[in-house]
Structure 1
Amino acid sequence: MPVHKGATALLCAGTLCAALLLSACASTAPPAPAAPAAASVPPASDARPAGAAPGGPGEPASSIASAPVPDPRIPGIGPATQALVPDGTGQALVVTGSTADDNTSTATLYERNPGGGWTATAGPWPTHNALRGWTADHTAGDLRTPIGVFRLDDAGGRLPDPGSRLPYDQDPEFAISGTGLSGEPLEGSFDHVIAIDYNRVPGRSPLDKERPLGAGKGGGVWIHVDHGGPTQACITLDREPLRRLIRALDPAEEPVIVMGPASDLAG
């Protein structure tokens, strides 16, 4: 059937309006929502830069490990004994007997580490102490070693200095002869000695005989070469450990000896 030219124009106009209407709807429709971003997956290992502290935002407090606090006490030493150790001390020779009446004991050198705790750096070494053991109230001739914390300031001996950083007095007067309390020979016992600052004037030769507490409180208490038996009051070490100890002690570390039966030192 023939179509009239006017009808054709009307049809074309209608089609164009429809197309424009559809185009306008498409341009004014709200944009489709964006797809959600992919969730961040944490790495299998801690990706914090080296040295970064844990506990960033969102990290639970329970996941932060607490750093261990170093024990400020020397091993085996109780609070009362530790309180006698000077704050500036960085070396401590601990000599421990099993009971108050023992004349054998064990010595270990401890040094304060950078974290504030204490580390054993030499020993344990076997030692002898006085024949009748230990006492907290030493008197001359009681054959007991004084209990306590004492400075180690001076060394000496019959033989040349083995490399001491403490003042060292080489003197022939350190020669000794005769026999000990168990009949053992004493020769060579004073080849090397370290003076224990019990009833003496620090800074002098171990041979010095001034007794600030009086002669009745004894004196001349040393660490010296072991002669195979108990002493009158001193502590002994085998020759090579004693030489090693003399070389190790550093006056800048204010070294001390902590000595006595284990039960007393643990107090």
Structure 2
Amino acid sequence: MSVPRRPPALLTAPLLVLALLLTACSSAASPDPAPTSTAPAQGAAGPQSDAASVRRASPAAEPAPSPAEIPGLGPLTRKQIPEQARQVFVVTGEDVDSNQSSAVLYSREDPDEEWAAAAGPWKAHNGMEGWTDHHVAGDLRSPSGVYSLTDAGGRLPDPGALLPYDEHPRFAVDGEGFFGEPLEGSFDYVVAINYNRTEGVSPLDRTRPLGLGRGGGIWIHVDHGGPTQGCVSIPEEHMEELLRTLDPAMDPVIVMGDAESLGR
């Protein structure tokens, strides 16, 4: 608030910090056990007859319960999560106008398994003015919704990311945040949120499929101790953990928004 990479358009040095500031943040119980088998017991004289089995069998067993759902997500939100996604990073805002949120990474190895918390909960920040379901450039709100996560990068060397990682000096940033906190290091590690961007390219790429007016450059990045322009931020050690955990083979997505909206 990254396929071979197309070199991003060069910015002149005087415009670098301004471009990053304005565009890169613009704009966790197992189910009940399966029912006990109702097959008849084997006695000393051998198995009971089929007729005896029918008479003594208990009523038809209930189907095994469905896998546990991710806490806090209602049916409308769950419906937006792609069926193939096996990693879901849930960022839940305190309310629609709050810039305070929490983040938990859920995963499962197979679509038939229950979801489990893989990391978190972590404290997080979002846009200064909260959340919106229609983000526009400069509104200082984070776009709520479900978005894929395919590309990463940062000013610092790759910490072992599984997603394609673009190390580049253009991720350097300075200046102050909304409360006077230093922004330096905020983009040392980032994961691009695929809101109004092209997948498979560096987070620095400025292509905006929905147009410039809908904002862009919405990232998960290092927390600087205050709200963002529209991105999601978490502490640096958790950013490193996230980068080492998000696996493109598991089709990771982010589910983000205020608690009330996500619960629908």
Would the TM-score normalized by the shorter structure come out above 0.5? Answer: yes
| CA 166–61 in structure 1, closer or farther in 2 if over 3 Å, else same | same
Identity %: 53
**Residue 80 (1) aligns with residue 76 (2):** yes
Return the alpha-carbon distance in structure 2 between the equivalents of residues 65 and 113 of structure 1.
Answer: 27
Q: Letter of the aligned partner of 1:187 in structure 2?
A: E
Q: Letter of the aligned partner of 1:89 in structure 2?
A: A
Other-structure match for 2:185: 188
Q: TM-score, normalised by structure 1?
A: 0.77
Other-structure match for 2:215: 218
Return the alpha-carbon distance in structure 2 between the equivalents of residues 70 and 212 of structure 1.
Answer: 38
Unmatched tracts of structure 2, length 5 or more: 1-35, 41-52
Return the alpha-carbon distance in structure 2 between the equivalents of residues 192 and 205 of structure 1.
Answer: 12
Secondary structure at 2:221 match in 1:
strand
Tell me by how many angstroms 1:60 deviates: 3.0
**Residue 111 (1) aligns with residue 107 (2):** yes
Other-structure match for 1:237: 234
Listed one character per residue, the Cα deviations across residues 135-164 of structure 1 (whole Å, up to 9, x for unaligned) are 000000000000000000000000011111
Listed one character per residue, the Cα deviations across residues 90-120 of structure 1 (whole Å, up to 9, x for unaligned) are 0000000121001010000001254432111
Other-structure match for 1:264: 261
Listed one character per residue, the Cα deviations across residues 204-232 of structure 1 (whole Å, up to 9, x for unaligned) are 00000010000000000000000000000
Return the alpha-carbon distance in structure 2 between the equivalents of residues 116 and 59 of structure 1.
Answer: 33
Q: Letter of the aligned partner of 2:65 in structure 1?
A: V
Tell me by how many angstroms 1:68 deviates: 4.1
Return the alpha-carbon distance in structure 1 between the equivalents of residues 237 and 133 of structure 2.
Answer: 30
Aligned pair partner of 2:95 in 92, 99, 105:
99
**Is residue 159–residue 170 contact of structure 1 (8 Å, CA) maintained in 2?**
yes
Return the alpha-carbon distance in structure 1 between the equivalents of residues 171 and 238 of structure 2.
Answer: 19
**Is residue 38–residue 58 contact of structure 2 (8 Å, CA) maintained in 1?**
no
Aligned pair partner of 1:147 in 121, 144, 148:
144
Tell me by how many angstroms 1:75 deviates: 1.8
Other-structure match for 2:39: 55
Q: Letter of the aligned partner of 2:199 in structure 1?
A: P
**Greater Rg over alpha carbons, structure:** 1
Q: Letter of the aligned partner of 1:166 in structure 2?
A: L
Unmatched tracts of structure 1, length 5 or more: 1-51
Q: TM-score, normalised by structure 2?
A: 0.78
Q: Letter of the aligned partner of 1:143 in structure 2?
A: L
Secondary structure at 2:146 match in 1:
strand
**Residue 206 (1) aligns with residue 206 (2):** no
Secondary structure at 1:61 match in 2:
coil
Tell me by how many angstroms 1:266 deviates: 0.9
Aligned residues: 215
CA RMSD of aligned residues (A): 1.6
